[in-house]
Amino acid sequence: MYDIYKHWTFSIANLKEGRWYTVITSHFTHGSILHLAFNCMTLYSFGPTVAAILGVQRFLALYAISGLGGITAVYAVNNYLSKNPHPAVASRGILDGAIGASDCLFGVVTYYALTFPTSQFAFFFIPVNALLGVGVGGANSNPPRLSGRSSISHEGHLGDTKLNFL
């Protein structure tokens, strides 16, 4: 398990140890089968449409840049929290690292929402306006992590969403 953390999880500790490649490898690691399944379902739902619009190379660039945007936000928030500790954050080990491709996928979904703002998609079987759904999801992303109420890397999701709005 230590090798997975050491080589496949993005963290400030791994960067300090010279494992810069975790910026990339962390996107191929998931915390559970459910985590992987949701990411696969999201990619399957939005990826083909966005890839058809952008072409494969530009789609891959969007995917990669979104991942870097998410990792940058994770780094910034974790760096801030390590210098300004919150009791709930310290007690839950939230600064341990980030894994998953959700940040890449939030970039794809945000691009879709900006391209088709009035379209709807099912969010847990509930029809949601694309632009409103991304906006509300992004607005709710940071408070849980900063207060220590969640171990989900909301800042990673929000980081690439903001990047795509720019």
Give the pTM: 0.78
| For residues 55-74, average pLDDT | 92
68: CB partners within 8 A, 6+ apart: 23
Q: Is the pLDDT of residue 109 over 60?
A: yes
Between 122 and 2, where is the model more confident? 122
CB-based contact 121:65 (threshold 8 Å)? no
Provide the 8-state DSSP code for 14: H
Q: Is the pLDDT of residue 147 over 80?
A: no
